Structure 1
């Protein structure tokens, strides 16, 4: 019996090969898209599964009285917590302090260096491939490597006990190698070193106090710990020990599982978007298949009736149709698997890999994905095979034999509802794509308050081997640039727009009794003029005037407003309860967008730093005459190629750096664009199949109308108008949903576009034009058919 069912299934699929091909194409593309999106969600959620007892691990988030927050705390707080809180099993700081240079023989390299307490492995019991967790960070000069770094240096050899030279002088001993870490993990480790090695560092000792918050704090708590009570106790410790506890609103204790979303909020949007998109695409594929299968059932009512007369059961009919759909689903899963591995997954890595790590598929670890794909195929097969069939096997045999379908008219309503629903989803994604594209375009083209065109920026934080020789060569380069007729301005700085450190300091003005948190950076003379940032009042930095012991500062307009100042005359930036007279404020610069437009302009201060302090600057900015960028870039690159350094000089245009801030959003836009095209394509596949079927059903009617003088245009309108009306209804359904979703999303931006009527009009026109083209091709073909052949058709 099964063999007979299989033969009939293959015969029917071949007989209706156009609809079968459309079903196969829609299924393959749809399932391929769902696999890609859901695999990225799966990879994200299992990324930290290698951490035992993750539900007991928490970190501290500092909420300030001014509404700001950050995931750091003062360094001594953790020791206080551990000594007073019995619910804490273990705790560790986890922070950077400069990426240290390491040497193995003649091989010199720099990797991301993270510092942790010896209790790190008591909190995060990350598995070690080599070494002992309990002692790995106990010694001051120990170092733990990730498997990736260890493999680069030593291959598959166990390196525990071997030595590394750090910072030219320190002799470190490798005490452990971590098992491979998921690229999606919250841990972006390369080299792990104990905090005890920093105790001799002057800069570290200066910040190891109750005022400077710079280190994230992680704790493993007892399973029965009362988090709210523990949070209150931490708040009490803050009030008792912080130098100025009034600036702290609260210390929040947050589960470690939320750290990735907390640190990069857009991740939550991407993950939620992938889940929702997968659901809608899968729903779209199902609706499309149900529509096409329901339509083909109208031609097979006599077949079903004859089967029932000959003693066939409804179960046999359902088995037959499930088998037909099962063959299509199996083929589509195989095709979508090839599409997933060969195209979609690499594309997803190109879009998001730089921010979240490359997603790799491993059959040994990810076999559940294969099982889920098979389960999905079974569910799809049962739904599209059973639901349309139930309606038709319930028809009386007398009606089925005659081909009368009056009792099945309700199916037309259901089919039309499905068409409206699937096109509403497609139009919704088109609207999202149009609005998202408009927002990103706005952010990239907005007036940012500084000049970004024809400005070359080069990274000069190169770890020079001979700093004195490097300074001499750099000074000669600066002189050459200032003498170059193609160069209008030159400046050095610690930061550039799009890359300002998260360095904050609180300053106090006794006259206005105001405490203001300023973002802090350093810049040389010429920084404002190079980027053409206007001065509101006062003066710019000046080499001749500002090279004394008293370092002047320039604040932005937001900082001036935050202090409540109307003039900067006699004003200084001072710390509260500090005898230091403060840094003189010599100028106020206009607000400029030094970070992306998702964030408002915060109060900012620039300290003066002379360009002679080469080792303390990160960027060289050069304003160039239009069209002469290449000559100047080559000149700078040649000069740095002659300076002995551990890193290579890299340069780019400031405009590229600024646009790079929106790399993640560009990735989102590409994903939404693809999904929009995918949904409209799948919807049109279904529409193409339906109108083909309707044209065949009405082939004699079309022939008669042509004989009686109906034009091709009239017949095209006859076949298409009902579907175009349904698409029009779908646009009306989709528009308010799209407006609500995107208006809520845009509310998360400090600067955003206003949703305009033309965005919806454009989305509707795109959908209607694509639909009209799809319908028109098949309708014209049917309308131009020879009426004689049409009238002879049985």
Structure 2
């Protein structure tokens, strides 16, 4: 029986080539998009699942409340988790990780024999790190690999760059960064073959190896210094919720006095490690995370694309019902039951879904590099080894086949045999109504997606062109990563000033658009630390305003040797209660823990500028003057040349003169600003691409329906032409019904699109206003697409010879 169903289905597909082609291409395209999105989302949710007893591993995070400012940190103070291990029996083990990048060492110079290169992501970790987190050790063993000081574990890519095919274990390499230069013994090489992780590093260094490691181990600050990524593993059966409920009294026991002294309140939370990668609520992470709402949007797009492909199948199947009416009648007369017919038509649907998958798989394999580039990921198509892929394919075939074929199957199987055999069959009004409803549904989805493209593009364009309050254009940034090169920073800056193309050179410990790790509570005379305003700050020199194009609105700029002076922004002045005329000359006080009371003096007030992402409002901020050469590791160079190739060759020549053994690197400030919106740019590219696929599939279905409509009205068109109807009149006749459906779709889609995009824009503190023209443009595009698709068939029908259509029965 199944063989008979298969033969019948296959013959029908061959006989109706256009119908089959449209459905197969639609289902294959939808399946390709849907399958890739499912693989991508699965990949994003797969992070950190490989660790032993991962359900018992948690990260300790912090919520800070300061006067006028709140922070949600993925980190906590250094002494917290060791004390938790001591106080709570339910904690089996703890470990901490401290990225050197967060403390002025974004890159480290690695040297082995004659090989030397910069590497980022150096992380200080406790010796227990590999007890909690499982990595595959390609060389060495995780047991006690970081117990000894000045030992490291390298990721495989770095080990290959340094050692080639040699076994690195036991070999000595030199690390040189802002914390100094020292030799380290390699005790292991790891890779991520066990599974991806958000707890990333390229060089894991023993915590007891000097630098920030020693500082972390000795630090007893319970209020500030929230810079360590801290993890605990609970004993089997221990309750994380119960432990978290004990943390307020625990924190109060050790840190109440310190927090009170700096005017801070603080809460600790436990976050499951397996959920870190799909949480985007924290200010800073060890590596890039992904928003769960973004993944939900992708899943919704995958479902919608597959539904649009299924709708094509339903529409074309019911539209061609009259072609199969006699077949149904004959089958019923010779004894076929309704259930037999349903099985037959569902079988055809499953066959089409299966063929769609067979076509989609090789296409997906071919397009995988482009799709991975689009999503900034590295999805692999493991057809023969990944059972989850086959499970996805089976589920896709079953769901697609059932959804696409269910209505046609029940509709066709319901025909009355007697009426059909007598020739009294006519396409039912209800079926036509459902087809129209499904076309409307398709175009509602398409218009919502088109509107999304327009609004996302407008927001990104707004971000790109918004006046940030500083000038990001024609700015070069040079970073000095090692203590050796930092000693040459002044000499290099002076040499650059001799170039005619260089306008201004400014020294600092950070540059705009980057995360600002330093902040201090400050207050004017008469206040105290409980009323202090938390102000982020960058240490810099007297050229900072000129180099970055920042406007001074009160007081004066820094002068040479202006030690103890600060420039504050408007926001900080307002929060301190200082007017523009009174702020210059005001002393601002601060005190940290048991340290003596210190103060700085306001030299001037700057106009507010967006030194960080437009996702957030401008915070209290100040530049702190310093003339100590050891305080700086960045140069911002403002230039007036558009011939960057020539200019950079001159700058590189000076670099190699001053620092002959150091690799030459530079950044463009405008590109660094743009990197703050990588997630939105990626989302825009993804939505653009998959929206085009959805529109293509919708057009295929509309094309098929237009062809069928023209075929049904063949004689009518012939009579109208004989009576003098023009080609344009016939095209208008055949197109108007479809255009009405698109207009109805536009009316339904507009409020849906407005609600969805308004919610998305809430993530930006600075955003565009939704305007009528954005929705109108989406409607016009949808009408044009529909008109273009339908007109092709309409013109073909209008130009056909009426004699051929009228001479046949």
TM-score, with structure 1 as normaliser? 0.91
Q: Does the 8 A contact of 1:464 with 1:646 survive in 2?
A: no
Q: Decide whether aligned partners of structure 1 residues 387 and 174 sit closer, same or farther in structure 2, where only a CA change above 3 A counts.
A: same
Q: Does the 8 A contact of 1:142 with 1:194 survive in 2?
A: yes
Q: Does the 8 A contact of 2:76 with 2:230 survive in 1?
A: yes
- Partners of 1:281 and 1:200 in 2: CA distance: 50
- Partners of 2:187 and 2:343 in 1: CA distance: 62
Deviates more, 1:314-323 or 1:48-57: 314-323
Q: How many residues align?
A: 779
Pair 1:431 & 2:451 matched? yes
- 1:425-480: CA deviation from partner (whole Å, max 9, x where unpaired): 11111111111111111111111111223x22132325375665x34751442331
Measure how far apart 1:559 and its partner are. Answer: 1.3
DSSP-derived class of the 1:93 partner:
strand
Measure how far apart 1:401 and its partner are. Answer: 2.1
DSSP-derived class of the 1:650 partner:
coil
DSSP-derived class of the 1:139 partner:
coil
Q: Give the aligned partner of residue 27 of structure 2.
A: 27
Q: Does the 8 A contact of 2:555 with 2:605 survive in 1?
A: yes
Q: Does the 8 A contact of 2:446 with 2:695 survive in 1?
A: yes
Q: Give the aligned partner of residue 734 of structure 1.
A: 749
- Partners of 2:91 and 2:463 in 1: CA distance: 45
Q: Decide whether aligned partners of structure 1 residues 587 and 265 sit closer, same or farther in structure 2, where only a CA change above 3 A counts.
A: farther
- Partners of 1:587 and 1:300 in 2: CA distance: 84
Q: Give the aligned partner of residue 215 of structure 1.
A: 228
Measure how far apart 1:762 and its partner are. Answer: 0.7
- 1:189-212: CA deviation from partner (whole Å, max 9, x where unpaired): 222122122379776578553342
Q: Give the aligned partner of residue 69 of structure 1.
A: 72
Deviates more, 1:616-625 or 1:28-37: 616-625
- Partners of 1:41 and 1:692 in 2: CA distance: 38
- 1:229-269: CA deviation from partner (whole Å, max 9, x where unpaired): 42343322332333124412422222222322144675223
Where do 1:484-499 residues align within 5 Å? 484=500, 486-499=501-514
DSSP-derived class of the 1:593 partner:
coil
RMSD over aligned CA atoms reads 2.7
Q: Does the 8 A contact of 2:124 with 2:213 survive in 1?
A: no
Measure how far apart 1:49 and its partner are. Answer: 1.9
DSSP-derived class of the 2:666 partner:
strand
Q: Give the aligned partner of residue 604 of structure 1.
A: 621
Measure how far apart 1:523 and its partner are. Answer: 1.8
Where do 1:171-190 residues align within 5 Å? 171-181=183-193, 184-190=196-202
Pair 1:457 & 2:464 matched? no
Q: Decide whether aligned partners of structure 1 residues 347 and 557 sit closer, same or farther in structure 2, where only a CA change above 3 A counts.
A: same
DSSP-derived class of the 1:65 partner:
strand
- Partners of 1:374 and 1:410 in 2: CA distance: 33
- Partners of 2:333 and 2:306 in 1: CA distance: 37
DSSP-derived class of the 1:685 partner:
helix
- Partners of 2:518 and 2:196 in 1: CA distance: 27
DSSP-derived class of the 1:50 partner:
coil
Unaligned runs of 5+ in 2: 283-287
Q: Give the aligned partner of residue 252 of structure 1.
A: 269
- Partners of 2:652 and 2:113 in 1: CA distance: 29
DSSP-derived class of the 2:291 partner:
helix
Q: Give the aligned partner of residue 329 of structure 1.
A: 353
- 1:694-724: CA deviation from partner (whole Å, max 9, x where unpaired): 1111211211122122222232222222221
Measure how far apart 1:385 and its partner are. Answer: 3.5
Measure how far apart 1:278 and its partner are. Answer: 1.0
DSSP-derived class of the 2:47 partner:
coil
Q: Give the aligned partner of residue 613 of structure 1.
A: 629
Q: Give the aligned partner of residue 368 of structure 1.
A: 388
Where do 1:162-241 residues align within 5 Å? 162-167=171-176, 170-181=182-193, 184-198=196-210, 209-210=221-222, 211-241=224-254
DSSP-derived class of the 2:208 partner:
helix
Where do 1:15-94 residues align within 5 Å? 15-66=15-66, 67-94=70-97
- Partners of 1:475 and 1:5 in 2: CA distance: 80
Pair 1:141 & 2:150 matched? yes
Q: Decide whether aligned partners of structure 1 residues 570 and 7 sit closer, same or farther in structure 2, where only a CA change above 3 A counts.
A: closer
Q: Decide whether aligned partners of structure 1 residues 107 and 188 sit closer, same or farther in structure 2, where only a CA change above 3 A counts.
A: same
TM-score, with structure 2 as normaliser? 0.90
- Partners of 1:280 and 1:740 in 2: CA distance: 18
- 1:81-126: CA deviation from partner (whole Å, max 9, x where unpaired): 1111111111111111245443333323443211211222333244
Q: Decide whether aligned partners of structure 1 residues 124 and 462 sit closer, same or farther in structure 2, where only a CA change above 3 A counts.
A: closer
Q: Give the aligned partner of residue 105 of structure 1.
A: 113
**Aligned counterpart for 2:762 among listed residues 739, 747, 756:** 747
**Aligned counterpart for 2:558 among listed residues 532, 541, 561:** 541
Q: Does the 8 A contact of 2:503 with 2:637 survive in 1?
A: no
- 1:310-355: CA deviation from partner (whole Å, max 9, x where unpaired): 3445455445444544443333223322222222x323322342xx
- Partners of 1:136 and 1:519 in 2: CA distance: 38
Q: Does the 8 A contact of 2:117 with 2:663 survive in 1?
A: no
Q: Decide whether aligned partners of structure 1 residues 467 and 774 sit closer, same or farther in structure 2, where only a CA change above 3 A counts.
A: closer
